[in-house]
């Protein structure tokens, strides 16, 4: 999902700003023409950080929730029943919240792709 968001960010950046505008934004913002190498590094890191942060956030929260389920399953039988239902409800709420955050960040990133920096 984060790779799809990354492709959409690049697609809409090029669509809205043109290829020259997109490359100019990568190379000449914020330090101008003399700072092009530094700009490319900074903007490249910023561009790559978006899909990585989206994917790690989603994976990390889902993985942690499943690990807690595994740890609950290792407990004695009578304790499993008392902990599994509250954790399942909490986990469903957390996953829903993470999906909302993923969607919100996707909208923010796509809005940033539509904006022109001056």
Residues annotated as part of the active site: 53, 57, 61
29: left (phi over 0), alpha (psi -120 to 50) or beta: beta
DSSP state of 76: -
Taking the C-alpha atoms of residue 28 and residue 100, their distance in angstroms, rounded to an integer, is 34
64 is written with which tokens? 């942690």
Cα-flanking dihedrals φ and ψ of residue 33, to 5°? -70, -35
Cα-flanking dihedrals φ and ψ of residue 89, to 5°? -65, -45
27 is written with which tokens? 């190379």
């Amino acid at each position: 999902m984060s790779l799809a968001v990354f492709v959409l960010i690049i697609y809409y950046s090029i669509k809205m700003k043109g290829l020259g505008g997109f490359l100019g934004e990568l190379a000449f913002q914020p330090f101008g023409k003399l700072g092009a190498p530094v700009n490319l590094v900074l903007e490249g890191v910023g561009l790559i950080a978006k899909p990585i942060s989206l994917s790690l956030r989603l994976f990390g929260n889902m993985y942690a929730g499943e690990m807690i389920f595994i740890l609950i399953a290792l407990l004695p039988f009578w304790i499993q029943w008392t902990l599994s239902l509250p954790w399942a409800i909490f986990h469903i709420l957390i996953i829903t919240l993470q999906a909302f955050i993923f969607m919100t960040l996707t909208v923010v990133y796509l809005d940033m792709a539509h904006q022109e920096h001056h």
